[in-house]
Amino acid sequence: MAEDRITVIHVPGSFEIPLAAETAASSGKYIAVCCLGAVVQGETQHHDYINHAVAQGLMTAMQRTGIPIAFGILTCENLDQALNRAGGKAGNKGEEAALAAIEMTSLLTKITG
């Protein structure tokens, strides 16, 4: 896919991803949204609340808009684990999320005609 057909939107943190994703999905400009990020566990359980809120927010946004929103948010214990899952030893979860967005777009096109 040509890079000029991809828009990158940066948000200040993972908690803000669902609002940005829903806004992009409802804009009519995109056939899919792929959300990538990482929540790294800290010394408290704060990451659990963030992870749950982001996952629920993205699911709700996808259901409201009818636009595929791929979940590529890593939930990791440390930075090394995040780097390994973002293209290192453990594969590339961002690539997997992008592929899921493409597959869902194709599937929905087949379903709706």
Closest CA to 73 of 23, 24, 39, 50: 39
Give the span between the Cα atoms of 48 and 61, in whole angstroms: 20
In the set 10, 46, 47, 52, the catalytic residue is: 46
46 is catalytic: yes
Query: In 10 A of CB 95, how many CB atoms?
Result: 14
**Active-site residue numbers?**
46
